[in-house]
Amino acid sequence: MASFEDRSYNSADGLRLHYRDYAGGDPDQPPILCLPGLTRNCRDFEPVADRFAGEWRVLSLDFRGRGQSAADPDPSHYMPATYARDVLKLLDQLGIADAVFVGTSLGGLVTMLIGAMEEERIAGALLNDIGPEVSPQGIERIRNYVGKAADWPSFAAAGAAFAERAGDVYPHWGAAEWERFARRTCREEGGAVVLDYDMAIAQPFAQANEATQPNLWPWLDHLKDKPVTILRGALSDLFDAPVAERMVRELGPNAELVTVPDVGHAPSFDEPESIAAVERLLARVRAAA
């Protein structure tokens, strides 16, 4: 595993937030900034760091309420706008003008929102299995498990439980891959293995998806003329192929659509196709500089 330092900073409202800093790379090129999905954390991007750290500086964040970041006492703050402000606060504190955003699911929504807020901060973007529209089927699947506490006697047992619940997402994974998934998704606490996020994130998620959905397509306009990769799992139940294809058409010639075979929501970056997609994106960022 690539070496990193655990670092933290304070959000504008005083929460202590955590990120991994894989230092190195050309200081004149933007860092890779990794933003995780709804229930996930910075460990999801270990494959990205293993491939690119040293050549590029890699920053991987824990959103508030996940991983080593503090939980928010007000669950209503668990919303993309809050996360976007937290990310921008970190970039400002580190003196980073722009970054190559790699956002999975929720992290991709936050990337699009940051583009709408301060588009100059985005040197390039990879949106992993997410777009301005999502499938109700996928949302319902997530609602069935998010915010439901669970514990297991070991990471292997947790992995087996994930495999039983979501084996169709990664149909070719074996026990070793599911245990690795559990180690990225869970933590040890009180002699048990538990989910590594604040269960209260489910409250605003449920409320947001019960309301009328806003039109997010205008967010995409701010990524036009930037190097963008749309990464989609071929088996995804959240991100439909026609939405991905429309995104590429609207973004224009600087956009690439990559579909990862035999993977659902979302590609994990353990797939060669996913890492190759990041490689091509970074090459386009360099060429555009």
Find residue 231's DSSP bridge partners. Answer: 128, 258
Please tell me the CATH superfamily of domain 5-145+200-288, with its number. Answer: Alpha/Beta hydrolase fold, catalytic domain (3.40.50.1820)
Mean pLDDT value of segment 194-211: 92
Mean pLDDT value of segment 248-273: 98
User: Is the predicted pLDDT of residue 211 greater than 80, yes or no?
Assistant: no
Please give the pLDDT value at position 289: 86
Q: Which amino acid is at 80?
A: P
pTM equals 0.98
Label residue 256 by pLDDT band (50, 70, 90). very high
Which residues, 6+ apart, have CB-to-CB distance to 6 below 8 Å? 18, 20, 21, 68
CA distance 177 to 184: 11
User: Is the predicted pLDDT of residue 3 greater than 90, yes or no?
Assistant: yes
Mean pLDDT value of segment 6-10: 98
> CA 265 → CA 8, 38, 70, 242, 259, distances in Å?
29, 12, 26, 16, 12
Q: Provide the edge-to-edge strand list for the sheet that holds 122-128.
A: 5-10, 16-22, 58-61, 32-35, 99-104, 122-128, 228-233, 255-260
Q: Are 275 and 261 in contact (CB under 8 A)?
A: no
Task: Name the CA radius of gyration of the chain, rounded.
Answer: 18
Mean pLDDT value of segment 156-172: 97
Mean pLDDT value of segment 9-30: 96
- What would the pLDDT profile of 56-99 be if each residue is shown by its tens digit? 999 999 999 999 999 999 999 999 999 999 999 999 999 999 99
Please give the pLDDT value at position 210: 80
User: Is the predicted pLDDT of residue 1 greater than 90, yes or no?
Assistant: no
Q: What would the two tokens of residue 190 be?
A: 């009180």
User: Is the predicted pLDDT of residue 2 greater than 80, yes or no?
Assistant: yes
- Asked if residue 266 has a cis previous peptide bond (ω within 30° of 0), the answer is yes
- Asked if residue 99 has a cis previous peptide bond (ω within 30° of 0), the answer is no
Domain ranges of the chain: 5-145+200-288
Find residue 6's DSSP bridge partners. Answer: 20
